């Protein structure tokens, strides 16, 4: 197979690349025609306070089961939806679904929701997100929007405006997958962020790899300096947790505590924890 480059040259690409491209096209085509409300759902991953082991919030994660393709992971379909612009519609549906669930959680539990670069690319898109929240009646201060480094670096000025709009609305903003992109510390300093999510790739073998340890250590120092909350993602083992605890990490997320949960299991978890708190309050009286 041959592909024309911008300069008019020809590049040959191999069978594996051709296969990737045709899969991309297939997913894109099916996604454009998909019934989002029927085929997509959310799971909720607990975000945990290390000191108490309690769930303080959930990150909503998209799941898609297509009648023709079967299960497609968000790692695959979100970038494709982003590429085609379909993401704007998907975000609106998923956010409404997440808010409908979050309404049933105890008042102190927050919702963390992922936004794509496209979602914050124009003020109109941001206003649409705000109107979905307003229609739900859910308190915007209990929402935390996760934005990746890539979204910020693509168009910094616009990203900054969008983040300001959402902050003004009352919501928090996390910089997601921190450390994997190209955002300079300079960028981080200039944005009104609330939290930094340190990517799980730095946590793997943090107990045995000095390089990962040093990176996490310096990001934590930066967060402390800037008054930002740090959340460490992808905590899978007791050993990792113990190193992170010693470093002063207060909030984590990962398979060690919980896999992403179905909506009803998420409800059960926070209701049970709230019940426990109430019982302790009563017995203390």
Interface positions with ligand C2E (CB under 6 A): 45, 60-62, 73-75, 78, 94, 114-116, 146, 176-177, 200, 234-236, 253-255, 260
Q: Give the binding-site size for Mg ion (rule: CB under 5 A).
A: 5
Quick one: 61 or 111, whose CB is closer to ligand C2E?
61
Quick one: 82 or 146, whose CB is closer to Mg ion?
146
Tokens representing 174 are 């996390």
Residue closest to ligand C2E, measured at CB: 254
Torsion sign across C-alpha atoms 178, 181, 186, 188: negative
Quick one: 75 or 227, whose CB is closer to ligand C2E?
75
> Which one among 82, 119, 146, 149 touches Mg ion, defined by CB under 5 A?
146
Please classify residue 35 by burial: count the beta carbons closer than 10 Å to its beta carbon, then call 0-12 exposed, 13-18 middle and 19+ buried: exposed
Q: Do 253 and 48 touch, CB atoms closer than 8 A? A: yes
User: Is 258 a residue that touches Mg ion (CB under 5 A)?
Assistant: no
> Which one among 45, 91, 109, 114 touches Mg ion, defined by CB under 5 A?
114
Quick one: 30 or 78, whose CB is closer to Mg ion?
78
Nearest-approach distance from CB 7 to Mg ion, in angstroms: 35
User: Is 119 a residue that touches Mg ion (CB under 5 A)?
Assistant: no
Stretch that binds Mg ion, among 26-34, 133-141, 227-235, 271-279 (CB under 5 A): 227-235
Nearest-approach distance from CB 167 to Mg ion, in angstroms: 18
Q: Choose the one of Mg ion, ligand C2E, none that binds residue 254, judging by a C-beta under 5 to 8 angstroms depending on kind.
A: ligand C2E
Nearest-approach distance from CB 197 to ligand C2E, in angstroms: 7
Q: Do 59 and 44 touch, CB atoms closer than 8 A? A: yes
Q: Choose the one of Mg ion, ligand C2E, none that binds residue 231, judging by a C-beta under 5 to 8 angstroms depending on kind.
A: none
Nearest-approach distance from CB 165 to ligand C2E, in angstroms: 18
Smallest CA-to-CA distance from 178 within 138, 218, 129 is with: 218
Opening angle at CA 76, ends 73 and 81, nearest 5: 110
User: Is 273 a residue that touches Mg ion (CB under 5 A)?
Assistant: no
Q: Choose the one of Mg ion, ligand C2E, none that binds residue 260, judging by a C-beta under 5 to 8 angstroms depending on kind.
A: ligand C2E
Identify residues 159-178 at the interface with Mg ion (CB under 5 A): 176-177
Q: Do 98 and 56 touch, CB atoms closer than 8 A? A: no
Measure the CA–CA gap between 220 and 165, rounded to whole angstroms.
Answer: 26
Residues lying near Mg ion in the complex (CB under 5 A) are found at: 114, 146, 176-177, 233
């Amino acid at each position: 197979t041959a592909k024309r480059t911008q300069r008019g040259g020809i590049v040959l690409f191999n069978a594996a690349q051709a296969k990737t491209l045709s899969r991309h096209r297939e997913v894109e085509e099916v996604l454009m025609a998909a019934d989002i409300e029927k085929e997509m759902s959310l799971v909720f991953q607990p975000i945990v306070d290390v000191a108490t082991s309690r769930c303080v919030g959930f990150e909503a994660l998209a799941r898609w089961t297509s009648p023709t393709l079967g299960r497609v992971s968000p790692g695959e379909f979100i970038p494709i939806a982003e590429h085609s612009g379909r993401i704007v519609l998907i975000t609106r549906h998923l956010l409404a679904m997440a808010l409908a669930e979050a309404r049933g959680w105890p008042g102190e539990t927050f919702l963390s929701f992922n936004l794509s670069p496209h979602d914050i690319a124009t003020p109109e898109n941001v206003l649409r997100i705000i109107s979905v929240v307003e229609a739900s009646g859910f308190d915007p201060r209990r929402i935390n929007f996760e934005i990746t480094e890539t979204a910020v670096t693509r168009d910094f000025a616009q990203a900054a405006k969008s983040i300001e709009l959402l902050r003004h609305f009352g919501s928090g903003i996390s910089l997601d997958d921190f450390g994997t992109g190209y955002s300079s510390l300079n960028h981080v300093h200039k944005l009104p962020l609330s939290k930094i999510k340190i990517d799980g790739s730095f946590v793997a073998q943090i107990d045995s790899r000095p390089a990962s340890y040093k990176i996490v250590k310096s990001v934590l120092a930066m967060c402390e300096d800037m008054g930002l909350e740090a959340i460490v993602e992808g905590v899978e083992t007791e050993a990792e947790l113990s190193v992170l605890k010693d470093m002063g990490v207060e909030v984590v997320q990962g398979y060690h505590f919980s896999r992403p949960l179905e909506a009803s299991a998420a409800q059960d978890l926070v209701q049970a924890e709230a019940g426990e708190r109430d019982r302790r309050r009563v017995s203390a009286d």
